[in-house]
Amino acid sequence: MTTTTTHLHDISKSRANEWLNGAIDEDSKKQIKALLSREDPKQLIDSFYQTLEFGTGGLRGLMGVGSNCINKYTIGAATQGLANYLKKSFAGQTIQVAIAHDSRNNSRQLAEVTAHVFSANGIIVHLFPELRPTPLLSFAIRYLKCQSGVVITASHNPKEYNGYKAYWNDGAQLVPPHDKNVIKEVNAITSFDQVKFTPDSTKIKAIGPEVEEAYYSMVQELIPRKESIKRQSKTSIVYTSLHGAGITMVPECLKRLGFENITVVEEQKIPDGNFPTIDSPNPEERSAMDMALKKATLINADLVMATDPDTDRVGIGIRNAHNEFFLLNGNQALSLMMWFILKNLKETGDRYIAKTIVTSDFIDRMAEQMGVECINTLTGFKYIAELIRDNEGKKKFIAAGEESYGYMVGDFVRDKDAVSACAFFAAMGAAAKDEGHSLYAWMVDMYREFGLYKEGLVNLVRTGAAGAQQIKYMMERFRSNPPHVIAGQKVIRVLDYQTSIERNLLNGHERTIQLPKSDVLQFQTWEGAKISVRPSGTEPKIKFYISVNLRLSNPKNFELAMEHLDEKIKAIEKDLIR
């Protein structure tokens, strides 16, 4: 073993023995003993080399035994830490929390563990009686006037994962200082004897249907062009929940808006944490949407939509100029949504939209020309929610989104919301059809007006402790020795969000980046390309976001121009990842 591996092995053995001597069940002890007896220490190290921390999406990891895995003990400790912090933050108040879960294996059990620990700490728990989308949990926190909330989910991760998203009283995921303070409270728990697992059932209440009804009412108020939906109520929509929680709300929401021709993919309708019909429950991947696309082609549908297991992301399929289905990427879908929303705004003064720094700059450009401010945040909807909170009473929030298929319209939910996003995309499809156009034609017109942008994303997966070290090394290398030329394009600007410094390589000038520190690097070229590099906060990946653009003077050249931009993206990929 290398020196690093030996060190991690020693740490892991020490933690594993601490668990063996702690108050855990016999089955968990048996699993730990099996890990300790293995000749190859890799799984032991991966299970125990660190304690899970909150990232951009909360607590997330592989299900299994160990400090670095999702199990009843790490969930219990996280909940005890959060309970301790809530009691300090809201001393003297009656504290309430809301809890939801998705369709993943063990999600209900872990949601009940979470409810038990909160109730044992004297906290009133509002628990959804069955799986529900994450955005409804965010809405419920504010509706029920809770101080916090938790949803058990690993979003779009593979089936082996689960997670724990913690929310504050505004319905948003934890941001500094709350996230770090909760971790301090968790780290202060040195024994599982300190975790109160024995529930007080008198403090656990089932959430009733009135919360869902209130949510549907809010969506109804936000949707523009309702007269188009009435005239185009037969618009054919194919929807799949990918075995997730979306089936409980998305079809019902669409029906309430007046859509009468909704086809649900039956084979993927039943919630199932094994996701038996797909390799990965991620609507960003075409394979996840294959079944829905085949169904849409068969019945000659107008629109395809797929949501991930906890229903905070949505993938969209529309027909192109050849009447064939293709999938919008997250930047295209968000750009089209923002264009539709801004076109239908009655006034623009003191209003703003938001996006993340790795999301297409096309949206900044469009918003500026349409007279609406566009504010950029770090990656993660918790930062967008923080922005909304900071601007309450000052500016009117319109909508937000990020390239990873997350969208939010209005501020009644403070997280990505695929339920209302599905409603908006359906309304857009009906409005385009009502005008005798298609969403594809609208998209081409949009790019002709504001410039054609195309984005690519490269994910390098590096798993386990060794993978984490490799990702760290790659970021250090890019930071200490940044490229001066990428695919023949001269780099003119480097933005390092960890040091908060932006450097202009043409004149040597530096300026301070006015955002919290984050492990993100961006390189901008003379030709207008932008490359962002960051480790994922929720998955064992390092991500490369590539954006290129050109002016589209003739809509007839759209497909040719897109091919040209694809070639540019491939050249940049090849140069960066050697």
Residue type, 200: D
Encoded tokens for 355: 């996006």
Cβ within 8 Å of residue 83, ≥6 positions away = 117, 118, 121, 123, 196
Measured CA to CA, the distance from residue 538 to residue 254 in angstroms comes to 30
* Strand, coil or helix: 153: coil
Q: Give the chain's radius of gyration (CA, Å).
A: 24
- Strand residue runs (E) in 226-350: 237-240, 262-264, 303-307, 314-319, 325-328
Catalytic residue among 155, 228, 241, 404: 155
Measured CA to CA, the distance from residue 9 to residue 198 in angstroms comes to 34
Nearest to 423 by CA among 223, 285, 569, 159: 223
Strands 530-535 and 541-550: antiparallel
Encoded tokens for 178: 């709350």
Cβ within 8 Å of residue 124, ≥6 positions away = 94, 95, 96, 97, 203, 205
The whole-angstrom distance between residue 39's C-alpha and the CA centroid of its chain comes to 38
Provide the terminal-to-terminal Cα distance of the chain, rounded to the nearest Å.
Answer: 27
DSSP letter for 268, please.
G
Residues found in the chain:
578
Measured CA to CA, the distance from residue 161 to residue 129 in angstroms comes to 22
> DSSP alpha helices (H): ranges in 121-225?
134-143, 178-187, 210-222
Q: What angle do CA 470, 471, 475 make, to 5 degrees?
A: 115
Measured CA to CA, the distance from residue 514 to residue 523 in angstroms comes to 17
Is 155 known to be catalytic?
yes
Encoded tokens for 132: 């529900």
- Residue that has been written with the tokens 């004149």 in this structure: 507
Strands 303-307 and 237-240: parallel
Helices then strands (H, E): number in the chain? 18, 23
Catalytic residue ranges: 155
